[in-house]
Amino acid sequence: MKLISGGVCAAKGFKANGLHCGIRPKTTKKDLSLVCSEVPASAAAVYTTNLVKGAPITVTKDHISSGIAQAAICNSGNANTCNADGVEIAEEMCAMLSKELGIKQSDVIVASTGVIGQPLNLAPIREKIGELAAGLSAEGNADAAEAIMTTDTVKKEAAVEFEIDGKVCHLGGMAKGSGMIHPNMATMLVFLTTDVSITPEMLQKALSTDVQSTFNMISVDGDTSTNDMVSIMANGLAGNRMITAEDDAFRTFMEALNTVTIHLCRMIAGDGEGATKLLECRVEGAANEKTAKTVARGVICSSLLKAAMFGADANWGRVLCAIGYCGADVDVQKVDVTFRSAKGEILVCKNGAGVPFSEEKAKEILLEKEIDILIGLNDGEALATAWGCDLTYDYVKINGDYRS
């Protein structure tokens, strides 16, 4: 498994583009993104569990119910949510793209992200969609990744190269996510592409399984968005034998998928709105996986813990507090807590009680950009990891004037 460049264009037969069309008239930021496969591809997706869902979610669900897609179009700056004509707008975006690319309208994945409750004007998209399609390129991944950003401060891309049946395969992706991030699928927009040959059914199984330990384990602010989804297209151009069952080839594919999604998870968590630090909570020694995940999520979601990490305060009591209310069946008198970063590690809690430690050393460790919160439950063999970020003054500033 080798990390490579290329994002959504790393896989054979995929091209991408991104440009500014004017959905956000007060800025020149790119706001329209496109990813396209040379041939129809197996497709799968997972969606937000928020009862308020953006119109693009409804349209995409309908389109890929066939298990096939060939392109994904996404606009930023407007979520196309809670609008009476939202579905019609989303379908028209697909229709315009269908005409430009000569593909089926039903083979288009559509997504939108941005402000909720404002009508999406199609005029800027209609004016630029020809240019968007004409500019598709095997090197267009960076432009596409930039065009899906809202409050994100950095592009988020990852890709891997691997082998199945002696064939060189690739899997890559791009993501956006900075605010309204919480472990309750989905929590961001993620577009994945691969040249592996796999049935839609096995692709859906792979994605649905993977998100439980990756995208469902991120939290920035406790809010679950209305538009978010993770989609994947697999066009089969690598030439491997079609994956139809949970065999060795499927397991290799799962490893590749997990490698890319974990990289994207870390990028999303580290780029949380106003964040200065990436937090990774690793839980070991749990009685079962459910307990491990519940504890990891509970700690990473704690606003008090996130605030302490912003202040580089080794307030381990907030870790214990979060474990105590997260709902997991845990013997708190067995819990160990260690903080770790590039500056070293320090044990702050043993068997549910504090131990002597250097506050100066702890401060030095917690001033780093990446911090690991290591929790030992000492009750079994299960483990889990969750990702988050610190809670800063800037989070409030960003969301206090989001619409402007």
User: Helix/strand/coil (H, E, C) string of the chain?
Assistant: CEECCCHHHCCCCEEEEEECCCCCCCCCCCCEEEEEEEEEEEEEEEECCCCCCCHHHHHHHHHHHHCEEEEEEEEEEECCCCCCCHHHHHHHHHHHHHHHHCCCHHHEEEEEEEECCCCCCCHHHHHHHHHHHHCCECCCHHHHHHHCCCCCCCCEEEEEEEEECCEEEEEEEEEECCCCCCCCCCCCEEEEEECCCECHHHHHHHHHHHCCCCHHHEECCCCCCCCCEEEEEECCCCCCCCECCCCHHHHHHHHHHHHHHHHHHHHHHHCCCCCCCEEEEEEEEECCHHHHHHHHHHHHCCHHHHHHHHCCCCCCHHHHHHHHHCCCCCCHHHCEEEEEECCEEEEEEECCEECCCCHHHHHHHHCCCEEEEEEECCCCCEEEEEEEECCCHHHHHHHHCCCC
Is the pLDDT assigned to residue 393 strictly greater than 70?
Answer: yes
pLDDT digits (tens, 9 = 90+) for 255-271: 999 999 999 999 988 87
Here the CATH number for the domain that contains residue 94 is 3.60.70.12
* Reported pTM: 0.88
For residues 182 and 199, membership in a common domain is answered with: yes
Is the pLDDT assigned to residue 146 strictly greater than 90?
Answer: yes
CA–chain centroid gap for 371, Å, is 20
Phi, psi of 389 (to 5 degrees): -150, 170
Here the CATH number for the domain that contains residue 324 is 3.10.20.340
CA distances from 277 to 80, 90, 180 (A): 31, 36, 17
Mean per-residue pLDDT over the chain, rounded? 92
Is the pLDDT assigned to residue 52 strictly greater than 80?
Answer: no
Give the whole-angstrom CA distance, residue 395 versus residue 370.
Answer: 18
For residues 70 and 192, membership in a common domain is answered with: yes
User: Which has the higher per-residue pLDDT, 212 or 270?
Assistant: 212
Is the pLDDT assigned to residue 180 strictly greater than 50?
Answer: no
Least confident of 35-44, 256-265, 388-397: 388-397
pLDDT band at 178, cuts 50/70/90? low
What average pLDDT does range 152-166 have in this prediction? 94
Looking at residue 223, its pLDDT comes to 59
pLDDT digits (tens, 9 = 90+) for 110-143: 999 988 888 999 999 999 999 999 999 999 999 9
- Please list the active-site residues: 187
CA angle 123, 130, 147 (to 5 degrees): 75
Looking at residue 256, its pLDDT comes to 98
Looking at residue 181, its pLDDT comes to 45
Of 232, 247, 270, which residue constitutes the final position of a domain? 270
For residues 62 and 195, membership in a common domain is answered with: yes
Number of domains making up the chain: 2
Phi, psi of 383 (to 5 degrees): -145, 165
For residues 243 and 295, membership in a common domain is answered with: no
Pair 194, 362: CB distance under 8 Å: no
For residues 266 and 283, membership in a common domain is answered with: no
Looking at residue 403, its pLDDT comes to 54
Of 270, 287, 319, which residue constitutes the final position of a domain? 270
For residues 317 and 234, membership in a common domain is answered with: no
For residues 154 and 262, membership in a common domain is answered with: yes
Looking at residue 184, its pLDDT comes to 52
Looking at residue 404, its pLDDT comes to 52
CA distances from 178 to 77, 272, 398 (A): 14, 4, 11
Looking at residue 222, its pLDDT comes to 59
What average pLDDT does range 98-107 have in this prediction? 98
Looking at residue 355, its pLDDT comes to 97
Looking at residue 401, its pLDDT comes to 67
pLDDT band at 291, cuts 50/70/90? very high
For residues 235 and 352, membership in a common domain is answered with: no
- Cα-trace Rg, the chain: 22
For residues 93 and 115, membership in a common domain is answered with: yes
Of 270, 300, 324, which residue constitutes the final position of a domain? 270
For residues 220 and 288, membership in a common domain is answered with: no
Residues 6+ apart with CB under 8 A from 146: 18, 29, 30, 155
Pair 293, 203: CB distance under 8 Å: no
Is the pLDDT assigned to residue 65 strictly greater than 90?
Answer: yes
For residues 63 and 157, membership in a common domain is answered with: yes
For residues 170 and 296, membership in a common domain is answered with: no
Domain that holds residue 370: 278-400
